[in-house]
Amino acid sequence: MKRILLLECSPHRQEASGSQMARQLIARRWPSAEVIERDLAGEPLPPVSAEYASALTGSAPFDDPAFACSEVLIAELEASDCLIIVTPMHNFNVPAALKLWIDYVLRIHRSFTTSAQGKVGLLQDRPTLVLVSAGGFYHGEQARQSDFLSAYLRHVLSTLGITQVEFVHQQGMALGAESVQAALNAVLPQLEKTTNFFSSPPRR
Ligand SMILES: Cc1cc2nc3c(=O)[nH]c(=O)nc-3n(C[C@H](O)[C@H](O)[C@H](O)COP(=O)(O)O)c2cc1C
């Protein structure tokens, strides 16, 4: 059975339009999939502690208690064969809740290693969809602000070994009802262009 890890990063939780879109997509494409949900905004992860920081930089063993939260989150990734991230843009980047998840999952010696060529991911590649919601425009012809989110998240995921990443942009969500409707209307055509999540036949 297909296992999907769904990372939800909006303070609006399941009320966020991106979350509803992701759930509809899953129900339509993979009705029998097992969905592992991680509500990063609604059930925040603990802040990075001194113990975790020391264990990470001190190359502590994987079973060090300081790695407990990190191990759970990495295991969720390892147990899934596809990843969906639903996230708002917060100040041109990922929200703090998602950044914290990254700080636990992107872990030297565990999820990536180093080589003469740079960092190398240790996790299996898998189809990944990132659904971004933003109040203004950061992508395309109407972009009027910097976008540190897309390149950053792509880089983080590729450092883990995840390169099959496709983005869907829901923009102009804070610019009035007409703009919101236009943004929602623009999502389906973008999804239809994704190769891993819409056009291709279900993998299993
Ligand atoms: C703290 C905070 C920072 C934000 N920063 C940006 C930003 O940099 N650019 C932008 O276009 N919208 C920004 N917004 C607006 C949200 O991205 C927008 O409302 C989005 O649609 C929220 O999606 P959600 O309902 O999935 O949480 C910000 C909102 C908050 C709460």
Residue of the CA atom closest to atom 7 of ligand 1: 91
Q: Which amino acid is at 157?
A: L
pLDDT reported for residue 197: 77
- Ligand 1: centre distance to CA 171 (Å): 10
Whose CA is closest to atom 17 on ligand 1? 134
Q: Is 148 in the pocket of ligand 1 (CB under 6 A)?
A: no
**Do 136 and 128 meet the contact criterion of CB atoms below 8 Å apart?**
no
| 47 has pLDDT over 80 | yes
* Distance separating alpha carbons of residues 159 and 24, to the nearest angstrom: 29
Q: Model confidence over 115-143: pLDDT tens digits?
A: 999 999 999 999 999 999 999 999 999 99
Where exactly are the structural domains of the chain? 3-199
Indicate the fold that domain 3-199 takes in CATH: Rossmann fold (3.40.50)
Mean pLDDT of the region 173-198: 91
Closest ligand 1 atom to Cα of 93: 8
Residue 166, phi-psi category: left (phi > 0), alpha (psi -120 to 50), beta (remainder): beta
pLDDT digits (tens, 9 = 90+) for 8-25: 999 999 999 999 999 999
Looking at residue 199, its pLDDT comes to 56
Q: Is the CB of 40 under 6 A from ligand 1?
A: no
- Indicate if the pLDDT at residue 181 is higher than 70: yes
pLDDT at 204 over 50: no
Distance (Å, whole) CA 4 – CA 34: 6
Nearest protein CA to atom 28 of ligand 1, as residue = 90
